[in-house]
Amino acid sequence: HVHVVGNACIDTTFRLGRFPAAGETLNATAYADGLGGKGANQAVAAARTGAAVTLWTALGKDPLGAWIRSQLDMELSDVQVSEFDLPSDRSTIVIDAGGENFIVSGVACSEAFDPIAQTALARRITPGEILVCQGNLRGAATNACLRAARKNGTRTILNASPIDEAALPDFGLADMLVVNQSEAKALTGQMDMAAAAGALAAKGAATVAITLGAEGCLVLGHGQAGALCLPAPHVKALDTSGAGDVFCGCLAGGLARGMPITSGLKFALAAAAISVTRPGTLLSCPSASEMAALVDQ
Ligand code: ADP
């Protein structure tokens, strides 16, 4: 069983030829609403691997919250929502013709969310299960989740993204730490990824995985002497947004289904490679039948 603790929001994407100047109004050439948030994305990816998944998330008591809930219910059989008298989290993403983007996010619910204090999470997680956290909740709230998991003997994956330097979670509480290259550089100051993995392991995570885009991922720990590089399948990348979330969700799902760490990472690499060949964030996540085909390979 995978417990994903994290944010769920609505992403509104506007596409236009160029960004507006200050004070200017432009009409978008296309626009769409979609379910987003790293918590929601990773929970959906994990569920499509065939693992049982619970998402623990926070929504506002507003029409957007009801919409997000309805989208989550289409994908997940167990969604534990903490409701707040706050506007639901949302992001506006503006993309120009060159593919550059601006993103503005409202994160009131994520900031108010303290799963251990406000939900039954601590009583629900058991040994043999996997808890997945990201960087969207306050560091102290994430730490409380990781601590509860450690006390219960539940394995933890911390995807330390996004990074809030002022309130980082305690990496020593994570059994597995997953970051991408720019996060690894920001967290360690190291440009060399093997050195960065070593520096992150020194902060206490038992296993460190650094995703390397088209190069795959680097993994250090779980009894290995040095860092091991696992290549990504060669594909023609069209849109890499959300690839990291597919990777983390599938890693958690694979581990929950009993895969050893290296097999779980290879499964995550295969699923993330499919996702980058298609447009969209959650839309590009492989389907349950595509995941099943990967597991059988
Ligand atoms: P993020 O999406 O967080 O920026 P990465 O760019 O490292 O992180 O991508 C996450 C994972 O997605 C990679 O480890 C890899 O498995 C997969 N991926 C990303 N880009 C490609 C690509 N061009 N070809 C194949 N796989 C990719």
Q: How far is 52 from 77, CA to CA, in rounded Å?
A: 8
14 within ligand 1 shell (Cβ under 6 A): no
* Residue 12, domain member (yes or no): no
The per-residue pLDDT of the chain, averaged, comes to: 95
> 3-class SS at 65?
helix
Residue whose entry in the numeric block shows the structure tokens 């379910």: 35
Rg from Cα positions in the chain: 18
State the CATH number of the domain containing residue 138.
Answer: 3.40.1190.20
What does residue 177 show for φ and ψ, rounded to 5 degrees? Answer: -110, 130
Q: How far is 180 from 18, CA to CA, in rounded Å?
A: 28
Q: How far is 81 from 57, CA to CA, in rounded Å?
A: 5
- Is the pLDDT assigned to residue 112 strictly greater than 70? yes
* Residue 41, domain member (yes or no): yes
- Is the pLDDT assigned to residue 165 strictly greater than 90? no
- Give pLDDT, residue 166: 84
The rounded Å distance from CA 280 to ligand 1 centre is: 14
* Residue 97, domain member (yes or no): no
Q: Residue 222's pLDDT band (boundaries 50, 70, 90)?
A: low
* Residue 99, domain member (yes or no): no
CA-based nearest residue to 200, from 189, 216, 215 = 189
**Best substitution site from 41, 179, 239, 240 to test ligand 1's pocket, by max atoms within 8 Å of Cβ?**
240
213 within ligand 1 shell (Cβ under 6 A): yes
- Is the pLDDT assigned to residue 223 strictly greater than 90? no
Among 89, 96, 245, 296, the active-site one is: 245
Residue 245 is among the residues annotated as catalytic for this protein: yes
Considering its fold, how many domains does the chain have in total?
Answer: 1
88 within ligand 1 shell (Cβ under 6 A): no
Spell out a b/e string for 246-279, using b for 16 or more CB atoms within 10 Å of the CB, else e: bbbbbbbbbbbbebebeebbbbbbbbbbbbbeee
User: Which residues partner with 56 through β-bridges?
Assistant: 5, 80
Q: How far is 57 from 174, CA to CA, in rounded Å?
A: 20
> 3-class SS at 88?
coil
- Is the pLDDT assigned to residue 291 strictly greater than 90? yes
* Residue 275, domain member (yes or no): yes
217 within ligand 1 shell (Cβ under 6 A): yes
Q: How far is 54 from 137, CA to CA, in rounded Å?
A: 17
Q: Identify the residue whose C-alpha is closest to ligand 1 atom 1.
A: 244
* Residue 102, domain member (yes or no): no
- Number of CB atoms found within 10 A of residue 186's CB: 14
135 within ligand 1 shell (Cβ under 6 A): no
What's the domain range around 258?
Answer: 2-7+37-88+107-296
Mean pLDDT for the stretch of residues 228-235: 96
pLDDT tens digits along 168-210:
999 999 999 999 999 999 999 999 999 999 999 999 999 999 9
* Residue 131, domain member (yes or no): yes
* Residue 100, domain member (yes or no): no
pLDDT tens digits along 53-111:
999 999 999 999 999 999 999 999 999 999 999 999 999 999 999 888 889 999 999 99
- Is the pLDDT assigned to residue 297 strictly greater than 80? no
Instruction: Count helices and strands (H / E) in the chain.
Output: 11, 13
- Is the pLDDT assigned to residue 135 strictly greater than 80? yes
Mention every residue, 6+ apart, whose C-beta is less than 8 A from residue 262: 219, 228, 230
CA-based nearest residue to 288, from 247, 252, 262, 250 = 250
Instruction: Report CA 73 to chain centroid distance, whole Å.
Output: 18
